[in-house]
A and B are shown apart, each in its own frame.
Chain A
């Protein structure tokens, strides 16, 4: 079936199998491998992208369901070589280790900070409750997001 999905401002039109997952469309059809597959059950958040402005787990959606929508992936969350405030803060703190969770965490935290000014640590932990980081114990990630929340957008 034919779908057209706008990813990071660019239209991708393709004839796809009805069962094709959105995450496979992004990774294989659009060639954007920054969106990761970690669990295939919507638990780990590595595949999180923004669909029409809201975070979704792209491993739980079909490409067909995203037909006609606008998607932002990690490759499009900031322009060119620049980084947004969440990325900058994670970069400065050297908070991450293996980094596999980073794309999903950056998408989720960036969306959350856009909606919430001055969150406290508990609210940040709740906001990240759909993203798994197996390496850090979350402390350095939560600290970095808290620091980012105090930066100007």
Chain B
């Protein structure tokens, strides 16, 4: 059955749906304070029984100083509200919850580090660290400011929980020396490698299988404490162990994104030519920093010049520890932060100079390949901007309009893998980038069908499985169409060649080919995004988004349904992030949104009609010519929607969301 038909009929198989004989249900007992010393733990399994330490895994993983390694169970002290302290299990789900209630944890509370200011002023949250500065970078070089005028501002993006509709979940079964894992994930490889490192098991002693995955948006790429603990309990008991995250747990203890501050200063000539960018980016990475968190401020800063030719730039970038859940990626993971900061500054400059924001952007758009002083190389963008302003109807729009123009940089680093198997008249495909049904099958089947000549109905895309394809990266960072697409294209070419050599029709033969495709970012892979939004005020004076139009460069469009779906989904998340979606923390560091409604995940009646114009501005230098798309909506949407709200309310916006607590 076609996969959507399976889901529409209620026949999906998500982790929570897996039932195995003798299954044990695990519950995690968590800290109810953001910071404190553990006095005693009575009941359950906790750090005094056994502990494990998490390395860097998932999006942005890498070797290097991963700061203070996050323990599976809090050890000696707790560092964030919701941190796992103990775990219990039972053969009944309800009995496991009762057991969790019976665990007694005594914690002596300490004053938590909640805000960025506190992080700078107060001693480190970790006794082993000298300060809360987790990482520091400088980009570009110091320069003497020229030009006629300057503008400066401080901008902030609140934390946002990813909130896929399916929460996290895992089933672990250790049997005959093999740890079998069924999981909701963006990458079976990061789960395998992360569990292997934490548990001290060789990689080939793990088999990780992706279940139907009900959304992710970044939060399902890395290994979490609960995955390690569930696996450990299975190794201890020899029984299958299931853990299903509650929404409340997701909101307090999964890895949220954003929480980024920009203090920026633009200098320009009086006719609007930007001549300098200075300032700093500070990111709240929460209690533990993996490589994604530690590198995040530099990653944001590097992109700041976007599609603009800004000749001088000098940025400081700092990551700070706070007593909050560790930072993770949320759709865009640094890209929307950069676009929001820069585009807010350009709007400010336009207002100060009395120049139309579109004219100011045209004046500064790159006219040829540009090497930014921050290390970003972009192609000429001006022509695309001119075309987009015409095709979206920007020039004819009335009051309450907002425009943004930025870049989308795909995370192609590390490349991607694919395997194609032809047997018994059918083609089966596995990808290193494990689709959680962002409609990868649409473009994958199309590529393989076009290359091999086999009709799509004989082709199937399978879920991630380390036993079927032993190496790969994952789906994140707008990389799937571009990196997984290239890998599957290469494998399809090879299959065709194998069939040709035998003088056979592809389907009549038996072939199996796996490939790891290495990739390096080049400017042809970077997309330009033009987003135009219109807002007005409702009867009580609150801003309402009326329409939002995306004019996005996707290179060679592989599947228009898939591309449109990705863009509208991202724009929807941008609308709520601008207006009301966030996770905030009280003075004690307790997360304030405890339900999905309080977090501000939007409903249909709160969102506008989206219009997507698929703009093809040349092809990327890949085999299939595609560019990235998954995060385009949040990167393009945030600044454009913000500007539309600012235009209709007449109040400068420095911080998102605009309407705290009105959800």
Contact = CB atoms under 8 A, between A and B. Distances in A.
B8 A106 contact: yes
Given A34-B9, A126-B605, A140-B565, A98 B596 contact: no
A101 interface: yes
Contacts of B333: none
Interface stretch (B160-168, B354-362, B487-495): B160-168
Interface stretch (B318-326, B444-452, B566-574): B566-574
A90 B607 CA distance: 20
B502 interface: no
A19 B7 CA distance: 29
Interface residues of A, number: 58
Interface in A122-153: 122, 124-126, 128-142
A89 to B, nearest CB: 10
Contact of A99 (B16, B212, B569, B602): B212
Contact of B166 (A98, A137, A139): A98
Interface stretch (A36-44, A50-58, A112-120): A36-44
A134 B9 contact: no
Contacts of B213: 98
Contacts of B595: 39, 41, 43
B417 to A, nearest CB: 23
A28 B18 CA distance: 11
A83 B165 contact: no
B8 A137 contact: no
Given A74-B10, A126-B605, A83 B5 contact: yes
B609 A98 contact: no
B144 interface: no
B12 A137 contact: no
Contact of B596 (A34, A41, A87): A41
Interface in B594-642: 595-597, 601-605, 607, 609-610, 633
Contact of B215 (A90, A122, A134, A139): A134
Contact of A132 (B9, B603, B610): B603
Nearest to B633: A137
Contacts of A33: 10, 13-14, 16-17
Contacts of A12: none
Given A97-B438, A132-B601, A137 B2 contact: no
Residue picked from B3, B4, B11, B215, most chain A C-beta under 10 Å: B4
Interface string B220-257: 00000000000000000000000010111000000000
Nearest to B571: A137
B546 interface: no
Nearest to B572: A137
A38 to B, nearest CB: 5
A17 interface: yes
B439 interface: yes
Given A98-B213, A139-B609, A91 B8 contact: yes
Nearest to B570: A137
Query: In the complex, which range does the number of interface residues on chain B fall in?
Result: 35 or more
Interface in B278-322: none
Contacts of B265: none
Interface in A72-117: 73-75, 78, 83, 87, 90-91, 94-103, 106
A99 B247 contact: no
B94 A44 contact: no
Given A36-B14, A96-B8, A138 B607 contact: yes
B215 A97 contact: yes
B442 interface: yes
Contacts of B601: 44, 132, 134
B341 interface: no
A43 B600 CA distance: 11
B483 to A, nearest CB: 19
B109 interface: no
B513 interface: no
Contact of B561 (A28, A39, A87, A94): A94
Contact of A39 (B10, B93, B572, B596): B596
B568 A137 contact: yes
A98 B213 CA distance: 7
Contacts of B16: 27, 33, 36-37
Find the residue from B8, B13, B439 having the highest chain A CB count within 10 A.
B8
A103 B437 CA distance: 16
A19 B212 CA distance: 29
A133 B437 CA distance: 14
A99 B572 contact: no
A78 B9 contact: yes
A16 to B, nearest CB: 10
A13 interface: no
Nearest to B574: A137
A46 B11 CA distance: 14
B603 A34 contact: no
B5 A34 contact: no
Contacts of B605: 122, 125-126, 128-129
A24 B92 CA distance: 12
Contact of B572 (A35, A73, A138): A138
Contacts of B248: 40
Given A98-B215, A137-B568, A140-B565, A103 B10 contact: yes
Interface of B: 2-5, 7-14, 16-17, 93-94, 163-167, 212-215, 217, 244, 246-248, 436-439, 442, 561, 564-565, 568-573, 595-597, 601-605, 607, 609-610, 633
29 contacts: A34-B11, A39-B596, A40-B247, A41-B595, A44-B601, A73-B10, A74-B9, A83-B9, A91-B4, A91-B8, A94-B4, A94-B439, A96-B437, A98-B214, A99-B12, A99-B437, A100-B7, A100-B165, A100-B214, A103-B10, A124-B604, A129-B603, A129-B604, A131-B604, A132-B601, A134-B165, A134-B217, A134-B569, A136-B572
Interface of A: 17, 19-20, 24, 27-28, 32-41, 43-44, 46, 73-75, 78, 83, 87, 90-91, 94-103, 106, 121-122, 124-126, 128-142
Given A97-B215, A135-B569, 19 more contacts: A27-B16, A27-B17, A33-B13, A38-B166, A38-B247, A39-B595, A44-B601, A74-B9, A91-B2, A94-B442, A94-B561, A96-B8, A97-B437, A98-B215, A100-B7, A100-B12, A137-B572, A139-B610, A140-B564
